[in-house]
A and B are shown apart, each in its own frame.
Chain A
Amino acid sequence: MEFKEKLVSSHLAFDDGMDLSDLVHQTRVAALKVFEEKGFPTKKDEAWKYTSLANLINQDYAIFPKDETNVDLKEVKKYFLFDTDTYKVIFIDGVYSPFLSNTTHDGIDVCLLSAALSKPKYKKLIDTYFNKIANQEDSMTALNTSYAKEGAFIYIPKNVVAEKPIEIIHFSTGKEKAVWLQPRNLIVVDQNAQVQIIERHQSLKEHPVVTNCVTEIYVHQDAFMDYYKLQNDLESASLIDNTYIIQEKNSHASVHTFSLGGKLTRNNLNYFHKGEHILSTLKGVTILKGKQHVDHATLVHHAQPNCESHQDYKGIFSERSEGVFNGQILVDKIAQKTNAFQQNNNILLDDKATVNTKPQLEIYADDVKCSHGCTIGQLDEEALFYLRSRGIPKKEAKALLTYAFANNVLESVQLPSLKKRINNQIAKKLGVSLGFEL
């Protein structure tokens, strides 16, 4: 566990020049202790039964971001939603890039966590929200907390609708041989406010990069939060994403995860309910090939009556890729009239591809409607034959069926330009050039 020791001992260097009496800093020190004690999760941990970090942590990574690296706009432009005007918070190798970003303090706050942590203006918000819902006992989250300094900070005040979507993009340039990045995002959507956020991690060059990201999201009463995670990184990059969402009365939070790339991706998506009549949506499309590995671990904790949650994850696996779905629905005793649904469908295209799925229901209330469904199968031979008999080539026919399979998730994407891009990406991933403008 050499890398673990490096992480623990390097914290002193991280401390350098910081206000050690600061409350946030004490949080970091406490979190480091948790990580030091627990270490990296192994396959012996039930939650990590199907995903091993051993191949990631057996090498060395640079953990401190170097000074700002300049990247040409034209080099990265294709990763932006260029046909839509957006707010942008862009980081290069973990360092904020003011040149590429487009932040704002006009009505809403779209800025940096480092700024929010240091400015007295935000102290109240930080004290109320920072590290309050993240699982303190989870070792990967604790590791992130112990080095939490930079990331996006988004605050949408009461009754405000953010008129432009917000893009959070992390680039890694490959200037360092191998990097370990730990961005930390804090998002607060106040009462009756609305926001759309797109998050993406992208390496610009084949080189080992591991991102251990934590995002805390507070969705207040009557608010609406729509979050899209685009995971289409190079096959040298790995991502451990920990997202914690807390929802209040009548709010709606929706997270779409598109996992099309990366070497190893682990999505820990956690929802906690703090009021009645909450709607939670979790959807995902995973299309993998090669030796890629994606693990979706979801938790929806129904702690209040009359709430609803919908989960729908589709996976398409070819070559030697591996998919994991580990969904948990927890219904407390007082959470009567809960409607919780979970659906996980998988298609295995090749003989060496693997799917491990564990959809769990833990229910302590009696007046509930909970269900989960899970399937593993192949493309329908007859449907394939039908298409081919009408002159559609095999590859295209397969792509069409695959696309139809994933369409349930795609059609609930609210941003038209994003939807189009994802369509194109899926077509590219499937090796076809169909428009899919269905």
Chain B
Amino acid sequence: MAYTEEELKKELETKEYEYGFYTDIESDTFPIGLSEEVVRKISEKKGEPEWMTQWRLDAYASWLEMTEPDWANVTYKKPDLQSISFYSAPKKQAKYESLDEVDPELLETFNKLGISIDEQKKLSGVAVDIVMDSVSVATTFKKTLAEKGIIFCSISEAIKEHPELVKKYIGSVIPPKDNYYAGLNSAVFTDGSFCYIPKGVRCPMELSTYFRINQAGTGQFERTLVIADQGSYVSYLEGCTAPSRDENQLHAAVVELIALDDAEIKYSTVQNWYPGDKEGKGGVFNFVTKRGICHNRSKISWTQVETGSAVTWKYPSCILKGDHSIGEFYSIAVTNNYQQADTGTKMIHLGNNTRSTIISKGISAGKSQNSYRGLVQVGARAKNARNFSQCDSLLMGNDCGAHTFPYIEAKSNSAQIEHEATTSKIGEDQIFYCNQRGIDTEKAIALIVNGFSKEVLNKLPMEFAVEAQKLLEISLEGSVG
């Protein structure tokens, strides 16, 4: 069978969203709209202490003065914040000790996604803190973690149980005034994950959360805070899938990472929010602020596989504040149909002898637009900063676009910065070479795309690599082997 690129394109266009189902769980949902009252209510509902309520209200006050950014290379109808509900929690709020107690329908959902909790518990040793809509409903392996002194819980729990840690670090990397969506999140976040690794502890397993937007018409505002104390190590996984929806849903998460001296955080994301249908109708708006701060000799590594969302606006960043700190960013962004992605990273070099690596792979198909936007900044006092950036784009079909907007600002003469970007399509000669050696065109495309993204896929933890492959397959079925 001669499998041409045209056919592949067609197949991609007609590929339906596999995970488009909707779980019917009774939810406790706020009336729509946003006001100071709503912010107070959320805080009250979560049983938060006074300082947290005040923190939210301050964030809300400064958010009111901000305007929605429009510099990104994406076009969309701005979500009407007065028409979404800011709080939605599954009714059954009891904490489960074992999986048997969890709503079977919920378990069914996860089974459909192929993330069997039992299996993961047994086989991969992943502790899963499942976040469905906004409240976490199951936490596993907590005991194993507790023995090591690791705190891994929902952020609302952390606010109650570990206020000193939360108070010290929340908003320290991404202040509520940082940007429009971070401000909004700070005011109305309903839940998220909290993780603290004590001094010198190497977290024995990959920590992971799965996010889902479930209730119709609810915005989801996750807040994640990961603190790795001196000399500790943690690998954190985050994966997202969302059910099919016609109206646009807003997802404005904030992720803050703090790597203290000699610590290492590896943060991996597989993002597969509902991208909208073939006509570009519906889909999730993903406006996420992710940033980490590195103290002396510490390392933060971001790895992401972005296949979903109608509009993505996401720049996981590293502030290399400490001497000898390291920042890494590995990304694959796949866009198809009418998806738009404006994603990249910021590496802010402040300490001496800091290093950063950026590898970004963009694959655009259909009528999608895929942009890389990055900043590499070397401060005047940062000696011997080193950066290497590589942004490659692969275009499939004639209606898509690939764009690169790198910003490089060097204020130190000891900085060494390299940036390179290429844009190309799968070459006819490459396919011909494969054909000539008896590999059919379908396999050849798979081979080439796989090779194109290998550099990033290799960076994913073993447990996640399988899922990443699976999600890539959904987005570009037939092209990834």
Q: Is the beta-carbon distance between A349 and B413 smaller than 8 angstroms?
A: yes
Which residues from A are CB-within-8-Å of B418? Answer: 373-377
**Residues of A340-381 contacting chain B, CB below 8 A:** 346, 348-378
CB distance from A323 to the nearest CB of B (A): 9
Which residues from B are CB-within-8-Å of A368? Answer: 395, 423-425
Which residues from A are CB-within-8-Å of B416? Answer: 375-378
CB distance from A153 to the nearest CB of B (A): 38
Judged by a CB distance under 8 angstroms, whether A419 is at the interface is: no
Q: Is the beta-carbon distance between A348 and B412 smaller than 8 angstroms?
A: yes
Closest B residue to A373 by beta carbon equals B420
Closest B residue to A330 by beta carbon equals B403
Q: Is the beta-carbon distance between B406 and A374 smaller than 8 angstroms?
A: yes
CA distance A9 to B416 in the complex (A): 49
With A348-B413, A353-B413, A378-B414 already in contact, the answer to whether A371 and B403 are too (CB < 8 A) is no
Closest A residue to B386 by beta carbon equals A377
User: Of A351, A365, A369, A374, which contacts B412 at CB under 8 A?
Assistant: A351
- B396, B409, B423: which has the most chain A beta carbons within 10 Å? B423
Judged by a CB distance under 8 angstroms, whether A175 is at the interface is: no
Q: Is the beta-carbon distance between B404 and A360 smaller than 8 angstroms?
A: yes
Q: Is the beta-carbon distance between A375 and B412 smaller than 8 angstroms?
A: no
Q: Is the beta-carbon distance between B415 and A367 smaller than 8 angstroms?
A: no
Which residues from A are CB-within-8-Å of B417? Answer: 374-377
Judged by a CB distance under 8 angstroms, whether A437 is at the interface is: no
- Interface residues in A, total, Cβ within 8 A: 36
Q: Is the beta-carbon distance between A358 and B398 smaller than 8 angstroms?
A: no
Contact-residue size bin, chain B (C-beta under 8 Å from the other chain): 20 to 34
Binary contact track B111-132/A, C-beta < 8 Å → 1, others 0: 0000000000000000000000
CA distance A367 to B418 in the complex (A): 26
Judged by a CB distance under 8 angstroms, whether A37 is at the interface is: no
Which residues from A are CB-within-8-Å of B396? Answer: 366
CB distance from A124 to the nearest CB of B (A): 40
With A333-B399, A361-B402, A363-B401 already in contact, the answer to whether A376 and B408 are too (CB < 8 A) is yes
Q: Is the beta-carbon distance between A370 and B408 smaller than 8 angstroms?
A: no
CA distance A119 to B415 in the complex (A): 57
Q: Is the beta-carbon distance between A369 and B408 smaller than 8 angstroms?
A: no
Judged by a CB distance under 8 angstroms, whether A46 is at the interface is: yes
Which residues from A are CB-within-8-Å of B395? Answer: 363, 365-366, 368
Closest B residue to A46 by beta carbon equals B71
Q: Is the beta-carbon distance between B408 and A356 smaller than 8 angstroms?
A: yes
CA distance A369 to B412 in the complex (A): 33
Judged by a CB distance under 8 angstroms, whether B407 is at the interface is: yes
CA distance A352 to B413 in the complex (A): 7
CB distance from A101 to the nearest CB of B (A): 43
With A46-B71, A360-B403, A363-B395 already in contact, the answer to whether A374 and B410 are too (CB < 8 A) is no
**Residues of B390-447 contacting chain A, CB below 8 A:** 393, 395-425
Which residues from A are CB-within-8-Å of B407? Answer: 356-358
Judged by a CB distance under 8 angstroms, whether B380 is at the interface is: yes
Which residues from A are CB-within-8-Å of B410? Answer: 346, 348, 354-356, 376
CA distance A364 to B403 in the complex (A): 8
CB distance from A324 to the nearest CB of B (A): 10
Q: Is the beta-carbon distance between A370 and B413 smaller than 8 angstroms?
A: no
With A333-B399, A348-B410 already in contact, the answer to whether A370 and B422 are too (CB < 8 A) is yes
CA distance A360 to B412 in the complex (A): 23
CB distance from A308 to the nearest CB of B (A): 15
Closest B residue to A370 by beta carbon equals B423
**Residues of B206-246 contacting chain A, CB below 8 A:** none
Which residues from B are CB-within-8-Å of A378? Answer: 413-414, 416
Q: Is the beta-carbon distance between B419 and A363 smaller than 8 angstroms?
A: no
Q: Is the beta-carbon distance between A373 and B423 smaller than 8 angstroms?
A: no
Q: Is the beta-carbon distance between B419 and A373 smaller than 8 angstroms?
A: yes
Which residues from A are CB-within-8-Å of B419? Answer: 359, 372-375
With A354-B411, A371-B420 already in contact, the answer to whether A366 and B380 are too (CB < 8 A) is no
CA distance A84 to B133 in the complex (A): 77
With A333-B398, A348-B413 already in contact, the answer to whether A374 and B408 are too (CB < 8 A) is yes
Q: Is the beta-carbon distance between B423 and A358 smaller than 8 angstroms?
A: no
Binary contact track A366-403/B, C-beta < 8 Å → 1, others 0: 11111111111110000000000000000000000000
- B408, B417, B420: which has the most chain A beta carbons within 10 Å? B408
Q: Is the beta-carbon distance between B421 and A371 smaller than 8 angstroms?
A: yes
Closest A residue to B394 by beta carbon equals A366
CB distance from A414 to the nearest CB of B (A): 29
CB distance from B147 to the nearest CB of A (A): 48
Q: Is the beta-carbon distance between B421 and A376 smaller than 8 angstroms?
A: no
With A358-B405, A359-B406, A376-B416 already in contact, the answer to whether A351 and B380 are too (CB < 8 A) is yes
CB distance from A299 to the nearest CB of B (A): 14
CA distance A368 to B415 in the complex (A): 32
CA distance A322 to B87 in the complex (A): 50
Which residues from A are CB-within-8-Å of B408? Answer: 355-358, 374, 376
With A360-B405, A376-B417 already in contact, the answer to whether A371 and B412 are too (CB < 8 A) is no
CA distance A346 to B416 in the complex (A): 10
Closest A residue to B369 by beta carbon equals A364
Q: Is the beta-carbon distance between B420 and A372 smaller than 8 angstroms?
A: yes
Which residues from B are CB-within-8-Å of A376? Answer: 408, 410, 415-418
User: Of A356, A363, A366, A371, which contacts B409 at CB under 8 A?
Assistant: A356
Which residues from A are CB-within-8-Å of B414? Answer: 351, 378
CA distance A328 to B421 in the complex (A): 13
CA distance A9 to B403 in the complex (A): 43
Which residues from A are CB-within-8-Å of B71? Answer: 46
Closest B residue to A333 by beta carbon equals B398
Which residues from A are CB-within-8-Å of B424? Answer: 368-370
CB distance from A316 to the nearest CB of B (A): 11
Which residues from A are CB-within-8-Å of B425? Answer: 366-368
Binary contact track A110-130/B, C-beta < 8 Å → 1, others 0: 000000000000000000000
Q: Is the beta-carbon distance between B420 and A362 smaller than 8 angstroms?
A: no
Which residues from B are CB-within-8-Å of A336? Answer: 398
With A360-B404, A364-B401, A366-B395 already in contact, the answer to whether A355 and B409 are too (CB < 8 A) is yes
- A346, A352, A374: which has the most chain B beta carbons within 10 Å? A374
Closest B residue to A376 by beta carbon equals B417
Which residues from A are CB-within-8-Å of B400? Answer: 364, 366
CB distance from B7 to the nearest CB of A (A): 16
Closest A residue to B5 by beta carbon equals A366
Which residues from B are CB-within-8-Å of A377? Answer: 415-418
Which residues from B are CB-within-8-Å of A348? Answer: 410, 412-413, 415
Closest B residue to A369 by beta carbon equals B424
Closest A residue to B420 by beta carbon equals A373
Which residues from B are CB-within-8-Å of A362? Answer: 401, 403
CB distance from A371 to the nearest CB of B (A): 4
Q: Is the beta-carbon distance between B420 and A363 smaller than 8 angstroms?
A: no
Which residues from B are CB-within-8-Å of A350? Answer: 413
Which residues from A are CB-within-8-Å of B412? Answer: 348, 351
CB distance from B460 to the nearest CB of A (A): 27
Which residues from A are CB-within-8-Å of B404? Answer: 359-361, 372
Which residues from B are CB-within-8-Å of A359? Answer: 404, 406, 419, 421
**Residues of B363-399 contacting chain A, CB below 8 A:** 380, 393, 395-399
CA distance A339 to B409 in the complex (A): 27
Closest A residue to B408 by beta carbon equals A357
Which residues from B are CB-within-8-Å of A369? Answer: 422-424
Closest B residue to A324 by beta carbon equals B409
Closest A residue to B383 by beta carbon equals A351
Q: A351-B380, A355-B409, A369-B423 are in contact. List 16 more A-B contacts (CB 8 A).
A: A333-B399, A348-B415, A351-B413, A355-B408, A356-B408, A358-B407, A361-B423, A367-B398, A367-B425, A370-B423, A371-B420, A373-B419, A374-B419, A375-B416, A375-B419, A377-B417
Interface residues of B (CB under 8 A from A): 71, 380, 393, 395-425
Task: Give 13 A-B contacts (CB < 8 Å), ordered by A residue.
Answer: A46-B71, A350-B413, A356-B407, A358-B406, A361-B423, A366-B396, A367-B398, A371-B421, A372-B421, A374-B417, A375-B418, A376-B418, A378-B416
Q: Closest 4 CB pairs between A and B?
A: A348-B413, A366-B395, A376-B417, A374-B419
